[in-house]
Amino acid sequence: MLEPGIEEKTFYLNLGPQHPSTHGVLRILLEMDGEFIANSEPVIGYGHRAHEKMAELRTYQQYLPNMGRVDYLHALAYNHGYCLAVERLAGIEVPERAEFIRVITSELNRIASHLLWFGAYLLDLGAFTPFLYCFDDRENVVDILDRVTGSRLTYCYFRFGGVRDDIDDEFIAGCRAFITRLRSRWQDYDDLVTKNVIFINRTRDVGIITPEQALKYGVTGPCLRGSGIPYDIRRSEPYSVYPLFDFEIPIGERGDIMDRYVVRLREMEQSLRIIEQALDKLPNGPIMAEKVPKRLKPAEGEVYAAVESGRGEFGTYIVSKGDTKPYRIKLRVPSFSNLSIISELIKDTLVADMVAILGSLDLVIPEVDR
Amino acid sequence: MLAEQIRNSLEKLELEKVAAGDYGRTGYHVEVAAKPEQITAIAQVMLEQQCFLESLTALDLIESFEVVYHFACFRELCRTVVHVPLIKGKTAPTLSSVYPAADWFEREVFDLFGIVFAGHPNLKRLILPEDADFHPLLKDFVASS
């Protein structure tokens, strides 16, 4: 495929690696037939930082900061996934209060991630105003998380057996104020975007992912739920204290861009519900397990643990040979599988639709490259 | 129970090992070990059971390789792991005709380990530059840290 000069009526168009709609350094080689895409091939790897090789050179603790840098938009889910895998491997029990704090901060981070997607995606489609609205809202989350984690983006807050710092009354008050604020915003978002006829026409019945395609490509997250499959790790493979909370799994019907958009918007409301319940039920107690060894040396064996990140299933596969360093860590990142379907989705569509479809997958390219 | 169905269907293939996993410790419901030439048949069984290919990776065990496949299901909680030992220098069959997801996973493994997947339609480097002459996840590759 894509050897120059084979089909004379087609020509090649390079999208990226420096294209604003790819949100990272992604290149897609497009073989164009007029305005339609005849064939395409994504070229990835520009942001490869060898995270998996780094894992083999560092101790378990030393690898923690890497987790905030794979998917920087939902860093706390990655903190959670890695800690979950190591805790399973080493048999560490996490106190309940720590698990509650993990859920609260992780859901706040999910909202921040979805809000950023919302703004940036509409910017792709040419709507500038929603971007300002949701960055205004997102700033609140970032401030709340900054107070407890100490950073605004690449969080490294979870530890094996708990979390680094306890939350205080100001954090809780901040969360409650944010919940009220964001709930009052849904109407604005609906009026501004969801009911906007231009937006509807650009997204309805475009970029449809069928459940069969999702199964064969391993698509997960809102992209899968938009196609009507209620697969959410928080529900289907419960971890942490998620089973204690009452929340819905929003799904779409047609699997088009509009459905994925609606799923993400409704997921933010469900995250607010989880945070609200967690704040109400927050138990007292320690935030770190006792007797977590400073030099962790898990017994020989392997483990696979999955969590739901903003983009889908994040899995950590760790193989231990009884050393202080992991023998191998494989990071199963959702954007990788979600991007691999793109050639099929954009075949025979217009370039303008391709931008809309690519953005709707909510890709974080450094996560694809690792 | 899906785990039981999968075990029953896989047992017909006469694999090296089909056993129930200890989910609380490893995260697996079914653990399988097989020869490279059996993996395509396993994948077909997994697809019939509506499982998706969650991850495909490899381990460099210095003497040999091991290709590791993870399958999970959208409908029911059931994770299957398939370990496929591979002698260095030998090829493994591609799964890309059964699962298109395997296309990129196998290219990644080829890129990082140098394992060749026979029958792959487009086996070239995925993450590293085309002209790279090393496979970084091999244990004898020394990274400057």
Per-residue pLDDT of chain A (370 residues; tens, 9 = 90+): 556 655 568 888 888 787 776 677 888 888 888 888 988 999 988 888 889 998 988 899 899 999 888 888 899 999 999 999 999 988 888 999 999 999 999 999 999 999 999 998 888 888 888 889 889 999 999 999 998 988 888 898 998 988 888 888 899 999 999 999 999 998 888 888 888 888 899 888 888 999 999 999 999 999 999 999 999 999 888 888 999 999 999 999 888 999 999 999 999 999 999 999 999 999 988 888 888 888 888 888 899 999 999 899 999 999 998 888 999 999 999 999 999 999 999 988 998 888 889 889 888 888 888 8
Q: What are the tokens at A24? A: 């990272």
Decide if A344 and B100 are in contact by the 8 Å CB cutoff: yes
The alpha-carbon gap from B26 to the nearest alpha carbon of chain A, in Å, equals 4
**A312 DSSP assignment:** E
Q: Are A38 and A31 in contact (CB under 8 A)?
A: yes
Q: What are the tokens at B89? A: 């220098």
Is pLDDT at B102 greater than 80 in this prediction?
Answer: yes
Beta bridge partners of A163: A158
Interface of A with B in 41-100 (CB under 8 A): 44-45, 48, 50, 52-54, 57, 85, 88
Q: What are the tokens at A106? A: 């992780």
Strand ordering across the sheet containing A36-43: A11-15, A27-33, A36-43
pLDDT digits (tens, 9 = 90+) for A163-181: 888 888 899 999 999 999 9
CA distance B75 to A250: 16
Please tell me which residue of chain B has the smallest CA distance to A42.
B126
Asked whether the bond before A17 is cis by omega within 30 degrees of 0, the reply is yes
Is B89 an interface residue toward A (CB < 8 Å)? no
Tell me if B112 is assigned to some domain: no
CA distance A142 to B18: 47
Q: Which residues of A touch B141 (CB under 8 A)?
A: 53
Tell me if A203 is assigned to some domain: yes
Decide if B70 and A304 are in contact by the 8 Å CB cutoff: yes
Decide if A215 and B52 are in contact by the 8 Å CB cutoff: yes
Decide if B55 and A45 are in contact by the 8 Å CB cutoff: no
The alpha-carbon gap from B101 to the nearest alpha carbon of chain A, in Å, equals 4
CA distance A227 to A256: 7
Give the helix, strand, coil percentages of chain B, each rounded to 5.
30, 30, 45
Q: Supply the ipTM of this predicted assembly.
A: 0.90
Tell me if B45 is assigned to some domain: yes
Is A29 an interface residue toward B (CB < 8 Å)? no
Q: Which residues of B touch A85 (CB under 8 A)?
A: 27
Is A340 an interface residue toward B (CB < 8 Å)? yes
How many other CB atoms are found less than 10 A from the CB of residue B141? Answer: 13
Is pLDDT at B12 greater than 90 in this prediction?
Answer: no
**How many structural domains does chain B have?**
1
Is pLDDT at B39 greater than 60 in this prediction?
Answer: yes
**A29 DSSP assignment:** E
Please tell me which residue of chain B has the smallest CA distance to A337.
B101
Is A306 an interface residue toward B (CB < 8 Å)? yes
What is the structure's pLDDT at A257? Answer: 92
The number of angstroms, rounded, from the C-alpha of B110 to the middle of its chain's C-alpha atoms is: 12
In CATH, what number is assigned to the domain containing residue B27?
A: 3.30.460.80
Tell me if B142 is assigned to some domain: no
Higher per-residue pLDDT: B103 or B9: B103
- The domain of B71 spans 2-90
What is the structure's pLDDT at B21? Answer: 82
Tell me if A30 is assigned to some domain: no
DSSP per position, A53-120: HHHHHS-TTTTGGGHHHHSGGGHHHHHHHHHHHHHHHHTPPPPHHHHHHHHHHHHHHHHHHHHHHHHH
What proportion of chain B, given as a percentage, has pLDDT over 90?
Answer: 32
In CATH, what number is assigned to the domain containing residue A170?
A: 1.10.645.10
The number of angstroms, rounded, from the C-alpha of A335 to the middle of its chain's C-alpha atoms is: 8
Beta bridge partners of B52: B72
**3-class secondary structure, B12:** coil
Beta bridge partners of A37: A32
> CA-CA distances (angstroms) from residue A207 to A250, A340, A346, A361?
19, 14, 7, 10
List of E strands, B61-145: 64-73, 80-87, 92-93, 117-118
What is the structure's pLDDT at A5? Answer: 59
Tell me if A53 is assigned to some domain: no
Tell me if A222 is assigned to some domain: yes
For tokens 């954090």, the residue is A171
Q: What are the tokens at B78? A: 């059931």
**How many structural domains does chain A have?**
1
Q: Rounded to the nearest 10 degrees, how much is the dihedral formed by the CA atoms of B89, B90, B93, B95?
A: -40
Tell me if B131 is assigned to some domain: no
Is A216 an interface residue toward B (CB < 8 Å)? yes
Is B66 an interface residue toward A (CB < 8 Å)? no
Tell me if A220 is assigned to some domain: yes
Decide if B59 and A44 are in contact by the 8 Å CB cutoff: no
Question: Could you tell me how many helices (H) and strands (E) chain B has, helices first?
Answer: 4, 7
Q: How confident is the model at residue B134 (pLDDT cuts 50, 70, 90)?
A: confident
Decide if B126 and A1 are in contact by the 8 Å CB cutoff: no
- The domain of A133 spans 61-369
Decide if B54 and A313 are in contact by the 8 Å CB cutoff: yes
**3-class secondary structure, B34:** coil
Tell me if A35 is assigned to some domain: no
**DSSP H stretches of helix in chain A:** 51-57, 67-70, 75-90, 96-124, 129-149, 169-189, 197-203, 211-217, 222-225, 233-236, 257-281, 334-340, 342-346, 351-360, 365-369
Q: Are A130 and A192 in contact (CB under 8 A)?
A: yes
b/e sequence A237-252, b meaning 16+ C-beta within 10 Å = bebbbbeebebebbbb
Q: What are the tokens at A150? A: 């100490």
Please tell me which residue of chain B has the smallest CA distance to A331.
B55
pLDDT digits (tens, 9 = 90+) for B59-94: 999 889 999 999 999 888 889 999 999 998 888 999
Taking residues B2-10, report their average pLDDT: 81
Tell me if B16 is assigned to some domain: yes
Is A317 an interface residue toward B (CB < 8 Å)? yes
Q: Are A333 and A103 in contact (CB under 8 A)?
A: no
Going by C-alpha positions, the residue among A299, A283, A197 that lies closest to residue B26 is: A299
Q: Model's pTM, two decimal places?
A: 0.89
CA distance A81 to A72: 14
Size of interface A-B (CB pairs under 8 A): 101
How many other CB atoms are found less than 10 A from the CB of residue B17? Answer: 11
Tell me if A36 is assigned to some domain: no
Tell me if A32 is assigned to some domain: no
CA distance B106 to B69: 11
Please name the member of A52, A215, A332 whose beta carbon is closest to the beta carbon of B55.
A332
The alpha-carbon gap from B82 to the nearest alpha carbon of chain A, in Å, equals 13
